[in-house]
Structure 1
């Protein structure tokens, strides 16, 4: 797997479906997917990689497979906008959350579903995004 295709991710019923290139067979791309759950670690599919065991040769097919699996197997489907404010920067996924006058974030690198966010609070999403971009830009210079 090269990296998660965060820019092609889709929100679905409290989940973020994240496609990735699984392999290449005879010149054809085969895609798989991973999931993040709005409920986090309380959800059995949080950070799960391809719980359905199925792959597809296109992105829309893999999203459909993930949705069907969640419809069949998840106990936690719900309308949720947890992943609404998400951004991809330098192939990293940044998810912004705002609660009242506090803003915080989740930050996932391009090749693993590990939240590397610093425990920092902000007053607005723009300050949060700018802070993250500055740190990623600094790490690129090194």
Structure 2
């Protein structure tokens, strides 16, 4: 009977040789969808006020320009995170809601929020010393 320990160890080591790049890193894929200054804020705002209208978002998200709001909403819609519903009426009415797929981000964003609270406390404690 041949001892395959070295072969088995080599296979195990090969499985652990991860290569991370823009295309293969799952964290990068996630950050592509939710990263940036405005996307997490918009996702949260739409979640909290759903259905959210464009004007409401413009007023409630401080500092965002109309063109940036439009751009970020389009990207979130293209990524399947939000749904845009246009009503055929005058003046035009558009509402945004979180998609079922978008709701799968909830645990991620909640974890990030908890981490952010802890981080802010740590930073506050450092500045108090």
The TM-score, its normalising length taken from structure 2, stands at 0.23
The TM-score, its normalising length taken from structure 1, stands at 0.21
Q: Which has the higher helix share?
A: 2
Query: Which has more radius of gyration?
Result: 2
